[in-house]
Structure 1
Amino acid sequence: MSTTTENAELLENIKADVLYHFGLSTADFDFKRAFGDVKFVLCGGSAGRMLKVAEQVAKELKLNLPFGTQFKNLSKSDRYVLYKTGPVLCVNHGIGEGSCLIMLHEITKLLKHAQVESPLFFRLGTSGGIGVEPGTVVISTGGVNGLLSPYFETRRLGKSVRYDASLDEQLAEDLLAVCRQLKIKHTAGLTMGNNDFYEEQGRCDGALCSFTEAEREEFLHAAHKIGVRNFEMECCCFASFCKRAGIRAAVVCVTLLNRFEGDQLNQPKSVYQEYEMHPCQIVITLIKQILQVS
């Protein structure tokens, strides 16, 4: 199945499609030549982290790069970074649903213009754990919103709409098998995608707080009871977009703390940096298995 969009017919009538936030246009860029061999898209919030991911992909896939090679950011805008490492695109999506959706729209169109067939999308990230130890990788079975519903809810032309936020079950099973193989601390569960880091995630340590600590505890336990194992900010929009576009997708996030024990991130930076690469290690191992790279 090709990369699809619900808007394919209208897009065909655009003479020059401008991917504004990446600074690329079909008028002067050969998408098929540059990206036609892409099979995987790895995305995460941080621009710096995605460069590290691209470097690790090149190392693990044993790409023959000349000594001293530096990765070129193919994005012509300062909004996002875009690295290509063999059949893998590495792109950051910033923080929150709006920034993530812009990336998803434009990368999906980029792949369509490149005539890419059946890409796999992976979101790699950090998160707050719900009843799991720091450093645990959560393989998401699906997303829920701040109302504990399995949907991404948004507005379209003055109306509220909602979309299914489920993820590819087989891809999740494959990732869990890799976790067991690598002996990385992991769990499977729902991921709550909130469009805020503080109040919407039930944090009491922001500049404003509209609830009590007792209400916070009640909310966290209600989320845990239905199977939520981590909170982040993009899962619902990422899952629902990929579902609508016919793209198989997975969300792989490491937990930096257990929210039952507090809201503050207080471990050494070196510990977090080590944790951050665990999702990358898991996904790259799966990619190597798919590509049959030893």
Structure 2
Amino acid sequence: MAATGTETKDLDSHHKNRLVQLSNPHVANMKEDVLYHFSLSTSTHDFPAMFGDVKFVCVGGSPSRMLTFIKYVAKELGLSHPGDEYPNICSGTDRYAMYKVGPVLSVSHGMGIPSIAIMLHELIKLLFHAGCSNVTVIRIGTSGGIGLEPGSVVITRQAMDACFNPEFEHIVLGKRVVRSTDLDEGLAQELLHCSTDLSEFTTVVGNTMCTLDFYEGQGRLDGALCTYTEKDKQAYLQAAHAAGIRNIEMESSVFAAMCSACGLRAAVVCVTLLDRLLGDQISSPHEVLAEYQQRPQRLVGHFIKKSLAPA
């Protein structure tokens, strides 16, 4: 049956006001939902009042980096005032840190797939309980580049595993579950355009390899264990480059899989701290690395400001 004019309008309205959804039917039957690692609960906190206006969520490894980011965004959006403080909403725990200004939420996720996965489960439920709609989630971080100058920024097209497959493998109840790691192509292009606006640093769209560890998993020769040669390492990294991979980090696959499964528009924006084809250790001066780490923040901050600007 063809849609009536009213039904078409309702569909358009739903698209424009896309509520955050969960991929879990059990949550609806819970009287209380305790977000343990955030030290927040639906019985003790008013999620719609606290978070209902959130439109942008930015996540990154370190609490200090995410505090720096929220201060930067507050200034960019004209929401900062002299003497302003940005309290950690998750101060009841030392697992993660969370900061908010206006429609922007900034959350730390720690290092590696397990840490960010735990955070994302609770973050997505938080957005759901708050009744948030049209939310964009962006991971900002650091990475090792492949064939790129240090300081280059990579916007991820697909997150790939260590075998160059665009998928995230998870074991659930003893069974192998594989989820897609595609990210929002339109969002990636919007971010690339924002980088062109800034014209401050090299930015590329490419695939990102997500590994389970920093040393052997990324083909480094400088860990406590190593069973391969420099030649083996170079062959592996060259194969990764041929697969379109331009950087390596440790969170993007589960980030992409979980956001996709819950219908969230998502992107990964990481700066490269070194070219792994030329070495394994990060040796740039602290001040250089500090400036590199600000690049994803500046790019995403510009994107948010541009998105919120009057049409």
**Per the shorter chain, which TM-score range?**
over 0.9
Measured against aligned partners, the alpha-carbon deviations of 1:78-115 in whole angstroms (never above 9, x if no partner) come to 10000011100000000000000111110110011100
Residue in 1 that maps onto 2:10 = none
Asked if 1:178 corresponds to 2:185, the answer is no
- Structural mapping, 1:128-147, within 5 Å: 128-147=144-163
Deviation at 1:118, TM superposition (A): 1.9
Deviations along 1:115-166, one digit per CA (max 9) or x if unpaired, are: 0012100000000000000000001111000111000112111111111011
Instruction: Give, in whole Å, the separation in 1 of the partners of 2:303 and 2:119.
Output: 23
- Percent identity of equivalent pairs: 49
SS state at 2:193 partner? helix
Amino acid paired to 1:222 = A
Matched AA of 2:142 = T
Residue of structure 2 equivalent to 1:167: 183
Counterpart selection for 2:215 from 169, 177, 198: 198
How many residues in Structure 1 have an aligned counterpart in Structure 2?
292
Counterpart AA for 2:249 = E
What residue is the counterpart of 1:68 in the other structure? 83
> 1:13 maps to what in 2?
29
- Give 2:233's aligned residue: 216
What are the Cα deviations for residues 169-193 of structure 1, in whole angstroms up to 9, with x where unaligned?
0000001111111112111100001
Q: CA deviation at 1:267?
A: 0.6
- Which 4+ residue blocks in structure 1 deviate beyond 2 angstroms? none
* Distance (Å, rounded) in 2 between the aligned partners of 1:204 and 1:132: 20
**Residues 57 and 106 of structure 2 are in contact (CA less than 8 Å); yes or no, is this contact kept in structure 1?**
yes
Q: How many angstroms apart in 2 are the aligned matches of 1:282 and 1:134?
A: 16
Aligned counterpart, 2:174: 158
The residue that corresponds to 2:5 in the other structure is none
TM-score, normalised to structure 2's length?
0.92
TM-score by length of 1: 0.98
The corresponding residue for 2:120 is 104
Residue 138 (structure 2) pairs with residue 122 (structure 1): yes
Between structure 1 and structure 2, the one with the greater Rg is 2
User: For residues 234-268 of structure 1, what are the alpha-carbon distances to aligned partners after superposition, in whole Å with 9 as ceiling and x for unaligned?
Assistant: 01110111010100000000000000000010010
Provide the alpha-carbon RMSD of the alignment: 1.1
Q: CA deviation at 1:210?
A: 2.1
